[in-house]
A and B are shown apart, each in its own frame.
Chain A
Amino acid sequence: MTSPTTVQNSQVQNTQRKYSPLKEFWKSFKKQKAALVASIFIGLLIVIAIIGPYIAPYDPFEPNYNALLEGPSASHLAGTDEYGRDIFSRLIVGAKISLMVSFSAVFLGLILGTILGLISGYFGGWVDKIIMRSCDVLFSFPDLLLAIAIVALLGPGINNVIIAVMIFSVPSFARLVRGATLNAKENVYVEAAQSMGASHVRVLWKHIFPETISELIIFVTMRIGTAILAASGLSFLGLGASPEMPEWGVMLSSGRDYLGTSSHVVIMPGIAIFLTVLAFNLIGDGLRDVLDPKIKNN
């Protein structure tokens, strides 16, 4: 015969087994309709970026002097540019460049900023002071200006854009993680781990870092949008990708001379940048609504 206590225990175990943070997250996230649509858009964009060169209807680099500055049509969905190149194909192939630049810059900034933030918040003292004052110095330059200064130093080029965007992302990540670390290190379980002799690296990695993840996820998503804007802005200014590359900012920049006669040359890459940044911002908003404890409790 089963005792009531055993039944209760098995119920508790079942409930525990059923609970999954990922499921909980998905349940809340799918209620954020705009963020959900934006996620699908970004998912498709990532697929396009990967398979872009294989599905592009035309060679994005091949000029066609019989089809200069043609408007959108059935044969050229987004029209052609000043060299007769198919804009739609260039946008598809350009998705890879824009996403690669922004993803790598933000992730490098995330790694470096997280390490600095964890060290700064956890150890405090002079280490904290040096790291935070260095961040203050970087914060003294507006983001885009800092990126421009770095590219001015290193010279134009897509790799230098990645470095520039990464450097201006580092202090923001460091400050965010430092704040979360300062909160997390006050927890009893951190004190317990320390008193049991756990190494600093173990405490930081196993007990403090997980506490920063939700804030980092939100911030990374928002930051990717900023990085796309910054990278395309640098390319627009002639400091990023080389003129023949199908990078969205470059396409917009080279098309601006034809704005009066063939506005599609400027409108199409602009729409691509706008929709991608919008999608990342909407996902960031949605994630904040789901993951931010203050908003969640409200």
Chain B
Amino acid sequence: MEYSIVPAREIFRHFSVLSIGIFYLTALISVGIFAYGVWLRVAKYRGGRAVAQHGLTWARVRETALVVLSHSKLRKRNALAGWAHVLIFFGFLTLLAGTITIWIDHDVLGLFGIHFWKGVFYLWFSATLDLMGLALLVGLAIMAARRWSTQPQFDYSRADRKAGTYSRLGYVRDDTIFLAILFLIGATGFVTEALRILADRPDFEVWSFVGWQLANGLSAVGLSRADANQLHFYCWWLHAILVFTFIAYIPYSKAIHILVDSANLLVRDPVAGKRLPAISEDVAGLGYQRLEDLTWKDRLNLDACTKCGRCHVACPARAGGWQLSPRDVILDLREQAEAKLGGGSLLHETSLAHDGSAGGGLIKPEVLWACTTCMACMEACPVGIEHVPLIVQMRRNLVEQGVMEPNLQKTLEKIGSSGNSFGEAAQNRAKWTQALPFRIKDARKEPVEYLWFVGDYASFDPGLQEITRSVARILHRTGVDFGILYEAEQNSGNDVRRVGEEGLFQMLIENNLAALGQARFKEIITTDPHTYNTLKFEYPEFGGEYRVRHYTELLAELIESGRIPISHPLDAIATYHDPCNLSRYTEVTDAPRAIMQAIGIKLIEMPRNRSNSFCCGAGGGRIWMASPGSEERPSHQRMREALELPDVKYFVVACPKDVVMFREAAAAVQGAGHIQVKEMIELVEMAISETVPALS
């Protein structure tokens, strides 16, 4: 027969015209249901507020394609799940491409009597699809095993509600159906292929190696060619119906992430969280109070979540037993959006009891106030969901309503009246300099090369002032030309903005820009990574464009160039805690490590390091709040992480707030007595002591 010479196969093998008709009709219905679901979603996004800028450029398209194809974000936090997704992703994509190829051959070019799906192309096509189909099944099997067999079990529980007051069975079902239907599609595809091969046995089908072997297997267990021929028809239809069901199901399930997440990655904000959105003119209040306040991009963000739970695991507030889980914030908002605006999943979370404390806003205040804005969630999210800006937008509403804990209110009032979180008079800001044997230049009065933005904690906290003086001493001894703003410097506003007090933030910016305007300098250096972030990413929007660096960056440079000679290398073992604002926000992770290496420290990394660092719990204004979580504090958990490492003498930090947080942790955590919490500068000073001659 001809097809034994030119390899190919019949699409509708032994089909009656009626069967073919039913097939096309079913296909049409399925695609129709799919299109309607997609349209509902698009309508939902189109109803959102406009976005000032979404940064969609060709570079972004390239970058996104790279992220999607390499799965870099998916593999980052969980290599096994990431690689399993690689198998599923490319398996699915190849099968989709294969189906489209056959459709073009059969239903487009076929109409003109042109066929290319045959011969050598057909053989390679068969082999490739079998290989990738197998990849899909293996990937799905790994995912299924991960989800249902490994311990601890995947955590579906909400951080803000008691078990029994809600049910997430809908989510479990959605996840199960998605996995199962894909697996069944793959499996029935192979069985259909095997039955056809068994019935017809064309020699060239050895290229469909999975189907071929499966046919051998079926034959071995006694399936006759005649029975296979019969069964093929039913199995073919089963496969087809599964595929059509899946296509129709996509926009009403987590499968939509195939489309939504690519779009979401395309429009993500490269400085999301680092630079918070300005107050929108078209929002009734100052922040987000109602669903209508969300932009189309926010709505897309909500739909992008696949409930993978990486943010849930990474979140320090969740780990510390506060009511926040970044995942739940997103899912909660999504449920609200789907209920009110339509265009969503068939399966939902159900509330079994009324949550009395929900209040008027979108998310409970206790949940929103738990956030340290450490950005671990956004760093972990493989699909570019921007949790932190959303949370801050909702906090802005809480601030406007005056809903906050008394400690925070007191602090904001102090900052409002005195310009610093300690409520100290401005004249006292530079009091720490009085114990220095030299005078620091007033950058407002004489030009300097480096303007040092000291920050509130480094200036006022009595436990930190010696460290602050250390920085001054080393810069002075090295002959660095630097100055400060004295009483004109105010809180930089980084955490004030993250609390959601935008007006106060703008007031602080205005005052600081006025002070910076009086000063002459080439570059700003900061001690506080929080200050660093806002100066670097947020001040430019208000007209303050400066070159800004963290002091560790300057120090690393000075050590590298030999201007700070290290004569007393420390010869000690230490671990380093990356401050959130230095690692995830401003992406400085090499300079502190270079300094440690130069001063003779043997660095042992904690499991969570660099951009995967675990927040001390003080960010986003949390340092001004007292409400406790139900689990061990994040800083204590972090100290335990360091205790797991052998022989660590120093727990090194590069942020004033970290010194406060971790000195407390070292004193409180059992067995941490031998660990000394050191600000980087203290170690540097030890390593150069007696060597650099004082200049004055």
Answer whether A and B are interacting partners.
no
